[in-house]
Amino acid sequence: MKIAFAAPTLPKTGAVAAGVLDGGKLSPTAAQLDRAMSGALTRALKSGRFKGQKGQIQEVLAPAGIGNSRVILFGLGKPKELKDLDFEAIGSSVIDRLSKSGEREVAIAIDDIAGIAVAAPQGAALCAFGARLQDYRFDRYKTKQKPEEKPSLERITVLVDDLAPARRAFAALEPVADGVFLTRDLVSEPANIIYPKSLAAEAKKLTKLGVSVQILGAAEMRKLGMGALLGVAQGSAHEAQLLVMRWNGIGKTGPGKRTIKDKSARPVAFVGKGVTFDTGGISIKPAANMEDMKWDMGGAGVVIGLMRALAGRKAKADVVGICGLVENMPSGTAQRPGDIVTSMSGQTIEVINTDAEGRLVLADALWYVQEKFNPHTIVDLATLTGAVIIALGHEYAGLFSNDDKLSEKLTAAGTAVGEGVWRLPMGEAYDKAINSDAADMKNVGNRAGGSITAAQFLLRFIKKGTPWAHLDIAGMAWSSKDKPTVPKGGTGFGVRLLDRLVADHFEG
């Protein structure tokens, strides 16, 4: 689908969409249409319940007096209450309505209306962004789709007075959508297609955007002493990989060139759990819904998509993205419950449950990133525990942190982009639950506070004084319901959140 911006001249054909304020007050474009339609829109507003309420839509088909095939009125609500996300919702809801309607083109008018806090060019860019995010589909494996099952919409034009700033704002948003889509694709691909080496190969493609990508195999990880990560991988025919991506956007003069003067400058690090399939290992999972575990690489998927977003918009920040990529399988070579592994940090871990594998992978990935890159801040993402879904459902990711300021920044970034995170407590009492009689720690506590004890485990691999946050995205990486801007399937949750965190706090 093509998205363009144009000056507000109404097209003579195709669909056209315009706003209505709370109480039924027509926007300038809607009023213009209404005049051409001899007051039909005013009459439509009188006869129905739609009065311009925010989030609602009214469609008028085959309007008389104009050449357009239909008019869509979208509710703007009260001007003062309109926020950035509302403009995304306008774009996405119009596209949702028209996508399979048979309509090929739509023009959406974003008028400059007094009292709206979001400037019209910004609103127009966000509307286009919402449309773009809504338009995503993963139908690569659908070979028998009939034409009428495919979207008809080919072109969106956002009409706005001030074109240049709208285009500029959208140019910064489009790479973020590309990042979200990359994550959605990777998460949606099945585990026979996406396994550690193929996932690393997908990330390697980011080299084109100026990301430097390094991939460590099992032998190199063995040398580094990554016994926790390798223990998880040892039951699989697929070799484990450690994916190391770097975007050095500070003082950058060209792709991949780092001209930063201050050598002591520290990057921000994002670390992802990349279990390309989680059977549970010898502590095997029940058969029902096990297919869902193809998205257990969701954390890694977000880190890869985020790197694409940051590189795509040439973020002025130094960022490291690290992903531990493994497949958790039961086999004759798989690790056993009771095995004791030595992590890269030197700490030993008694593996009580081979299904609590994500934390083992992250333990070594977290240690590696600190040893190699000395980051000023670390955020990890993982589909780590089923327990976080019990706690928060599919509305918020669990946030666990040793740093109040970082937690506040993440919470604010999440609110701004509509990707909510909710902080859960940590503390010594929870930490005790993972003490082991046989080793320095065990990889599970009891069932109580399962997401928190998992976070406590990770914290044991964070060096003192480093601000760190862990996002448990088990409930968010995949959606079984369509939501505005997020079609069902892989969501890409986390890409926008962390892109915003970087934009607001780590860019010069």
Residue whose token pair is 């950058």: 252
Provide the β-strand partners of residue 159: 6, 109
Q: Does 387 bind ligand BES (CB under 6 A)?
A: yes
Residue of minimal Cβ distance to Zn ion: 278
Q: Does 178 bind Mn ion (CB under 5 A)?
A: no
Residue of 273, 359, 442, 500 with catalytic role: 359
Region 264-293 residues binding Mn ion, contact defined as CB under 5 A = 278
Region 307-366 residues binding ligand BES, contact defined as CB under 6 A = 353, 355-358
Report CA-CA distances (Å) from 204 to 170, 218, 241, 290: 26, 18, 12, 29
Binding pattern to Zn ion, positions 320-359, x when CB under 5 A? --------------------------------------x-
CA distance 335 to 227: 11
Among 278, 318, 364, 380, the residue binding Zn ion under the rule CB under 5 A is: 278
Query: Residue 337 is encoded by which pair of tokens?
Result: 């419950």
Residues 6+ apart with CB under 8 A from 261: 251
Query: Residue 87 is encoded by which pair of tokens?
Result: 């403009």
Distance spanning both ends of the chain, measured CA to CA = 34
DSSP 354-409: TT--HHHHHHHHHHHHHHHH--SEEEEEE---THHHHHHTTT-EEEEES-HHHHHH
Q: Does 472 bind Zn ion (CB under 5 A)?
A: no
Which amino acid is it at 235? G
Residue of 197, 285, 314, 460 with catalytic role: 285
Q: Is 359 a catalytic residue?
A: yes
Residue of minimal Cβ distance to ligand BES: 386
Containing H/E element for 340? Answer: strand 340-342
Among 187, 362, 444, 486, the residue binding ligand BES under the rule CB under 6 A is: 444
Report CA-CA distances (Å) from 154 to 2, 18, 90, 235: 6, 19, 18, 47
Q: Does 418 bind ligand BES (CB under 6 A)?
A: no
CB atoms within 10 A of CB 410: 25
Q: Does 458 bind ligand BES (CB under 6 A)?
A: no
Q: Is 137 a catalytic residue?
A: no
Piece of the chain touching Zn ion by CB under 5 A; list 22-30, 250-258, 294-302, 469-477: 294-302
Using the minimum distance from each CB to ligand BES, give the nearer residue, 185 or 355: 355
From the CB of 291, what's the least distance to ligand BES, in Å? 11
Q: Does 296 bind Zn ion (CB under 5 A)?
A: yes
CA distance 214 to 197: 12
From the CB of 326, what's the least distance to ligand BES, in Å? 11
Region 227-286 residues binding ligand BES, contact defined as CB under 6 A = 278
Using the minimum distance from each CB to ligand BES, give the nearer residue, 79 or 386: 386
Total binding residues toward ligand BES, as defined by CB under 6 A: 15
Using the minimum distance from each CB to ligand BES, give the nearer residue, 121 or 450: 450
From the CB of 400, what's the least distance to ligand BES, in Å? 15
Q: Across the chain, how many H-helices and E-strands are there?
A: 15, 20
* Residues binding ligand BES (CB under 6 A): 278, 296, 353, 355-358, 383-387, 444, 450, 474
**Which sequence positions are flagged as catalytic?**
285, 359
